[in-house]
Amino acid sequence: MPSRLPMKRLLILCLLIAVFANAACAPATEDAQIRVPPIIVDQFGYLPALDKIAVIKNPKIGFDSGQSFTPSRKYGVIDLNTGRVVFTGQPRFWQDGKVDPVSGDSVWHFDFSEVRVPGRYVVRDLENGVESYAFEISPTVYTPVLKTAFRTFYLQRAGFEKRAPFVPQAFADRASHLGKGQDAQARLFNRMDDASTERDLRGGWYDAGDYNKYTSWTANYVTGLLGAYLENPAVWTDDFGIPESGNGTPDILDEVKWGLDWLERMQNADGAMLSVMGLDSASPPSAAKGPSRYGPPNSSATLTSAGAFALAAKVYRNIAGFETQAQTYAARADKAWRWAEANPNVKFYNNDERSRSEGLAAGQQEVESNRMAKKALIAAIHMSAMTGDPYFDGVIKKLYEDVKPMTADTPNGFEGNLAFDMLYHARQPRTSKTFAKHIRQDYEANVLNGYNAWPVIVGDEDAYRSFVDGYWWGSNSTKARRGEVFTQAIAADIGTASKLEYLNAAARYVHYLHGVNPLNKTYLSNMGGQGAENSVSEFYHAWFADGSDWDRVGASKYGPAPGFLVGGPNDGYERDVCCANVCGGHGAKMCERPIKSPPTGQPPAKSYTDFNEGWPINSWAVTENSNGYQVAYLRLLSKFAR
């Protein structure tokens, strides 16, 4: 068999010298060229009681089509501690050898679910001498991964120092955006010379790879993280390695409070919520010296924040020491809802000529009528749970009929948690039994048993065992929410399959994100120190920018910080349209670079590579992180940690 000792020795050395188990250390690769093992496993590992199925690939279409492989009939699972073969079996063809159009591969599946003894293993082709990346079987295999992924929110904090022991020295940085004219002295974007518009808007999280802060999206992260906490509070302990660890409060609630503190600063006295903040960029973040600007209130930010404050009030009222703060959240939720109800059509388009706001932040946070109705439904759900006021039950029922939130594609896009929020409403003691039953039946019929959920699991319709409707911008977050479809069914006791069957279905999506995909790529950044031998080596982020000390694992001084979930394959990726005409200056030189394939010109699930060039290469459409992606992943993974 081919030697794997150099790779293993490097990883062992990494673990010995790293300040943290997740410090920057992993072999450098050019991932489009890397010849990854054709035997594909979850690079972190598996829970003892759940399914364990390796995928063996024979590439037919795509950049790796020259790397053909035919497995032998005899496969084994090797205990790396003893060298013993602990299980043998034969791979089986997926769909009789059909070439999967989504990946361009023909594949086999090797089921080794019988292996349950904790340990470290590889899957080996016993005749060809080829083996998978190493993996662990353990009841706690995902716990350190969850903690690392969760700590990315600490790294995304604006106006907060990053320091040891909470991060390795490589990622230490002074508190950012607190200089003259920055977050604590932010001004209205179109009145920067008017000191009367100055506001203290420090705090919050960088939203994604940029440093901007968006009210609606922050509110979504608050509700998503609180949902994750409520669904499995036991896993959210007080030892996740953030500055608040050890204070007696679950760390997730400490982190959520950081987001809520910023939302409080963004609220006007009348309840309206300021819409957005645009922050300067630099690497590292503390080097950013430009002014901070904010946008005026709008209805969508205010409505979304009403729901976030309401859920926070309900959660924190039961947390020792937070009773008074919970009352404050309740008052803010009430004021936000009342303002939004009285002002339903106040729009503000950031970075958009419609509001003469070009250059203010990046992503468009404003929404149109259909999404506004969805936001209203989510907010009403949490207002109802907080207040017990029957008025909100009437609002929910009307919006339920208007929005029709229980469809097969609801978990795919914006407001992707809407169906899960409806299940939350169905579980509330005050919700009428008739309406709760209606919600549950609709979820089972249209979401759980929709064409893209349980039927594709039963029919084994995806070669890599984690079906989604398409690979568009942010496909990894879609994968995470697709897994959540099944964990939510467990929580709501919906469906005819067993809890174990639904848990195994959800775990398929965890495995995809951890490496069971056509690229054999763990879609978390710089996780070599935690056992993922082929994880994301670079991604779009202003801190970990192209050419910086944090650019690429093994090539730059440090590489990016560990644990960020990137957007994932996007077969709609393309360079800025100016490359087809004239970009001018720096952009024109960037356009002279060869077009990357991947991500272009590939089957959908192979439309990915690690790169981080900015405009006009626009790598953000493929590799940028987002707090939204991170929340979806954390919410799913937390169902499997302990």
For residue 359, give the CATH number of its domain: 1.50.10.10
What's the domain range around 243?
A: 155-367
Q: Which of 58, 240, 246 is nearest to 152 (CA)?
A: 240
| Residues 135 and 119: beta-carbon distance below 8 Å | no
Question: Is residue 333 in some structural domain?
Answer: yes
CA-to-CA distance for 531 and 510, rounded, in angstroms?
16
Question: Is residue 641 in some structural domain?
Answer: no
Q: Determine the pLDDT at residue 584.
A: 83
| Residues 219 and 382: beta-carbon distance below 8 Å | no
Q: Determine the pLDDT at residue 5.
A: 35
Using only C-alpha atoms, the chain has a radius of gyration, in whole angstroms, of 24
Q: Determine the pLDDT at residue 413.
A: 85
Q: Determine the pLDDT at residue 21.
A: 37
Question: Is residue 263 in some structural domain?
Answer: yes
CA-to-CA distance for 113 and 465, rounded, in angstroms?
15
CA-to-CA distance for 616 and 614, rounded, in angstroms?
6
DSSP one-letter code for 63: T
User: Among residues 342, 367, 392, which one ends one of the domains?
Assistant: 367
DSSP one-letter code for 561: P
**DSSP 3-state assignment of 146?**
helix
Question: Is residue 38 in some structural domain?
Answer: no
Q: Taken in order 28, 534, 99, 73, is the CA torsion positive or negative? A: positive
Q: Determine the pLDDT at residue 490.
A: 97
User: Among residues 320, 339, 367, which one ends one of the domains?
Assistant: 367
Q: Which of 413, 416, 483, 493 is nearest to 453 (CA)?
A: 483
DSSP one-letter code for 292: P
DSSP one-letter code for 73: S
- What count of other Cβ atoms lies within 10 Å of the Cβ of residue 146? 21
Q: Which of 444, 439, 445, 430 is nearest to 397 (CA)?
A: 439
Q: Determine the pLDDT at residue 9.
A: 33
Question: Is residue 419 in some structural domain?
Answer: no
Number of independent structural domains in the chain: 2
| Residues 54 and 67: beta-carbon distance below 8 Å | no
| Residues 602 and 609: beta-carbon distance below 8 Å | no
CA-to-CA distance for 103 and 1, rounded, in angstroms?
28
Question: Is residue 102 in some structural domain?
Answer: no
Give φ, ψ of 192 to 5 degrees.
-65, -20
Q: Which of 84, 90, 94, 165 is nearest to 127 (CA)?
A: 90
Question: Is residue 626 in some structural domain?
Answer: no
Question: Is residue 55 in some structural domain?
Answer: no
DSSP one-letter code for 538: -
For the chain, 642 residues long, the average pLDDT of each consecutive 10-residue run is 35 34 38 74 98 98 96 98 98 97 98 98 97 98 98 98 96 98 98 98 98 98 98 98 98 98 98 98 98 98 98 97 97 98 98 98 97 98 97 97 96 95 97 98 98 97 98 98 98 96 98 98 97 98 98 97 98 95 89 95 98 97 98 98 94
- Print burial letters for 608-621: b (CB count within 10 Å at least 16), e (below 16): bbbbbbbebbbbbb
**DSSP 3-state assignment of 47?**
coil
CA-to-CA distance for 426 and 233, rounded, in angstroms?
20
Q: Which of 136, 133, 128, 134 is nearest to 2 (CA)?
A: 128
Name the pairing type of β-strands 85-89 and 75-79: antiparallel
Three-class DSSP labels, 184-230: HHEEECCCCCCHHHCECCCCCECCECCCCEEHHHHHHHHHHHHHHHH
User: Among residues 337, 367, 397, which one ends one of the domains?
Assistant: 367
| Residues 336 and 387: beta-carbon distance below 8 Å | no
CA distances from 531 to 76, 120, 563 (A): 21, 10, 12
Show the tokens assigned to 625. 């992180």
What are the beta bridge partners of residue 273?
Answer: 267
Give φ, ψ of 194 to 5 degrees.
-100, 105
| Residues 14 and 26: beta-carbon distance below 8 Å | yes
Three-class DSSP labels, 327-347: HHHHHHHHHHHHHHHHCCCCC
| Residues 123 and 69: beta-carbon distance below 8 Å | no
- What is the DSSP annotation of 149-179? HHTHHHHTBTT--B-TTTS-GGG-BPPPS-S
